[in-house]
Structures are given as structure tokens and as C-alpha cells.
Structure 1
């Protein structure tokens, strides 16, 4: 079985670095029981890949959240990931997507907010990904180039079972090693096919693209889908309603049901659960 992984690599002779990403199990878990159409999966997958690539560069304990809110048919996209590469996410729509394609048609004026939480300093940093094209990957690539002040190339492929991505970054000393290296490496990367990103492991992909180059591949990290339950939080919310109102809801509906959108999980409370919640101390 193919494994989820993200691996850094370095062109030893050219001072060009990059990452290769494949998500299988984590992506399938994010999509489970969501029934997202293909065009929504594409946007959601591209944002998910971008989040993992960014989080793999975090040098402190923290969390990264990407959020898109807008007035288009897709009115909410959220991907949340921590420094251990534990991720989760959700997409919401407010109108049928039918055969719409492209970021402009699907997201409308939605802006992409990047929030970084540094748990060691308890500080938050926010920035926006500029929406300048109909291709979300091009806009994400532009953000990488602008935020790092280093030229970047980003390639992402998405299916209903897998996400594959290739990310290249030109380091400040690249031209001093080989003035043509960046153009050559970028040109070869642009020949990558979606099926190669989705199906080839990191070593095979890089060998196929760069068989004449010396590429150092670093140990892989394992991204994981992680969306823990929040039953205790829901119980606290129900207690805050008060016993009278909680039992009135129970009498009307037969049970109290709260849906966690991010995890796509239902927390259910019946009469026995309420008896325990409101049991005298």
C-alpha cells in the first residue's frame, strides 16, 4: 500500500531545494462521507497540499490554518495542520457547482487567509494569498515566491484517492553555482505529468525527471489525518443551556445532536446522557 509522505530534496550542485508530497490515507480520510464533487475536490486538494508543504517548514511548535471565505458557490474552505503534520479540513458550498471549473467561478471574490500560530511565543501571524488568476496553484506559487523572496515552482495533482505535489525553490546562491541551473531544473519540472505526481514515489519521480542530476533526498515525514472528538466540549455547551432547555430539546427531538463540521462527526446525547450531565453533585 502506498504511504503518505513528504520529503525534502536538494540539488547538490545547484543550490536548488524542494519537496515531494503524496497523500493517500490522509486525503481519503478527509474526503470520507463528504461526497464532494470533482471540481470541489480539486480546489480542496490543492489547498491541502499547500498547507502540508508550508507546515513542513515550521521550525517551532504551532499550527497553520488556511481559510477561504467568499461569495462564490464555494463559500468556505479550511485546512488546518500542526507542526507534527496532523491535518484536517472542510469545504462548504452555498450553491450547486454543476460543471463550474476554475478558482474564479468557484470561489468568486474569496480571499485566502494564512494564519500561523506560534505556541512557544503565543503569537499569531496572518497574511493573504493574492488572487490574481483563475488557477489556484499559480496564486499559491506566487505567494511562495513573494513571502520567501525566493523564486518558486509548484505543481499539484489531485484525484479522489491521492494528492501529489512537487515544489521547487531557488536559493540565493543558486546562480553562483550555475547560472542556467534554475531554468533547467524548472523546465524539467514543468514536464511532470499528473499521473506521475499521483503514482510515483519520491525517489522514482525525481530520478525520472532528473536522471542526470545529483539529487540528495532527505528522510520522509508522515502527514496524518487527525480530528479528535470534542464530546466533552459539547457536553459543556449543553450544561450551559441549563437542564430545563436541554430536556425540552430532548423531548422535542428525541436526542440532542451536534454536528462537528470540521471532523464530519455527530455527537449524540440521549436521556441517560442528560441524567449524567445534570446529576446532583
Structure 2
């Protein structure tokens, strides 16, 4: 684990609630280094990365979590993938000429949709959708959990191009506080205090200080940190499988169009994979045929 990229869970002894804090610096920097993102795009991508890290920390599963936001404005796509091993990557697609400094989420992604997809290692794939109606990604995630999961949740997300931070509160099943008005009052008390947390405080303070500042009158237990790191799952083998899925005839045509060498790029990390005529012959088992494929050195 690095000191700059981690999630950390906390729980209240006298309330039916838990929380998670996420801090991303090096992994955020890796993602931003791959593309020259305008400031508003970089900020939203950092917030979505922080959200993914929070959710991987709170959801108990082995596999891959994907958060994807699509809109009809100058920012058409945000996508972040985070594995249960807390390996994270992300990217954005946008029209640079239409991005204005200080643009809001709704200006950048009108008529947007937020999708959360969970791909368990050995189970059934699950996806939930919610309209991008809020003023922030945090608002949209709050709405998603209220409508899709029936789980009271409060997200606070901030990023500034150097650091991405997230704060999450979630209500737990009845244990410490009885049902009814007392339970609702308990939850409102915790969320009201959380809403006093400013962007400057979340981005600038450590977790212990944040929790003391918000909940110094409560009994809060902070658990060990869990490291997060940037990692891209692309590989030459995956690119080869993508070529196989296209089919022999289409790949041969593509090889001819590209003058005897196919280049495949990973949009997440900008890694390039090159396939020559010999590579294509091997992939499709054409070594025994006189197919006229050229060899590029």
C-alpha cells in the first residue's frame, strides 16, 4: 500500500451506520498522464475514480466494478473500472473545443445516465442505471442507491487535478438504534454533520482529522487502510482475442488496409500492440496456407 492511494473504513458504535474514505493521488496522476484532459473533465474523472474506490471498499465481492457515465454534451463518456483487488483505471471521451473552464456536470453531460456494473468472478453480472439528474456525481450516486439499492447512502466527492477524495456514509440494518423516529433522527444527525465537510477539508485533511472534526462527540472506529493502485488490464493476448473475434476475413482486409501491420491501442493507458502478417498468420493458423500475407520487419 502507498501512503497516497488507499481506502479506509469506519463504523459508529452507537449508530447503525458505517463509512468509507478514499484517497487517490498516484493512481489519479497515472490516469491523467495518459491524456491531456481539460480541467473540468479531469475533476469529474477524479470524482468518479474516488466513487469507484469507495464502492469497492463497501461492496463484498470478487471481480470488477465499473462506473460509466454517458451524456449528450461535450463530455460524452466517463468510465472507471476498479477490481476487488483495488486496481483502478479510467478514461473520458470529450470534444475539447466545446469544453469551457468551470462548466458544470449538467452543462458537460446533459441527458446523462449513470450505470454501475458488477462482474463477479464466479457469478452473474449485475447492472443498475439512474438518470444523471443531480448537480454533482455525488448527488447522482445518492439517488442511485436510494432508488436501486434501497440503501440510504451519502457520497461526498471532490478532486482538483492532483488529488481525488471521497467520503461515504451508509445506513446499516437495525442493531443499535430501534426502528422509527429514533433511527431516522440518528441517520439525519450523522448526515447533517457530514454535509458540513468542505471541499478544502476533504482534499486537505487526513482521515483521522476529518472524522474528529465531524464526529468528535461520537464513538467511531477507524479500520486499517487498504491500498489502491493504477493498473491496466490490457495485454497483447487480449488484443489478439479481439482480432479473433473480428474474424479472419475482416482482419485480413484490415491488414491490407494498414499496409501489412495492424496497430491496436488501449484507450486507458495508450499502450500500443502491433501485429504483423506473420502474427496474423499464427493467430488464425494460416501457416500451412499460401495466403500471400506479407512479413513486416
TM-score, length-scaled by structure 2: 0.81
Distance 2:193 2:134 in 1: 23
**What's the CA shift for 1:256?**
4.1
Distance 1:148 1:248 in 2: 49
Structure 2 gaps, min length 5: 289-297
What is the SS of the residue equivalent to 2:224? coil
TM-score, length-scaled by structure 1: 0.85
Q: 1:230 corresponds to which residue?
A: 235
Q: How does 1:103-182 map to 2 (within 5 A)?
A: 103-121=105-123, 123-173=124-174, 175-176=177-178, 180-182=185-187
Distance 1:67 1:242, change over 3 A: closer
Following superposition, which runs of at least 4 residues in structure 1 exceed 6 angstroms of deviation? none
String of CA shifts for 1:197-249, please: whole Å, max 9, x gaps.
12322222212222222110112111221103422343562994566863662
**Does 2:213 match 1:221?**
no
Q: Which moved more, 1:163-172 or 1:22-31?
A: 163-172
Structure 1 gaps, min length 5: none
Give the conservation status (yes or no) of the 8 Å contact 1:60–1:120.
Answer: no
Distance 1:175 1:242 in 2: 63
Distance 1:93 1:258 in 2: 21
**Does 2:45 match 1:36?**
no
String of CA shifts for 1:18-71, please: whole Å, max 9, x gaps.
111111111111111311111111221222222222222332322111222232
RMSD: 2.6
The one of 259, 267, 270 equivalent to 2:273 is: 267
Q: How does 1:1-281 map to 2 (within 5 A)?
A: 2-94=3-95, 96-99=98-101, 101-121=103-123, 123-173=124-174, 175-176=177-178, 180-235=185-240, 237=243, 240=248, 246=255, 249-250=258-259, 256-268=262-274, 274-275=277-278, 278=281, 280=287
Aligned length: 274
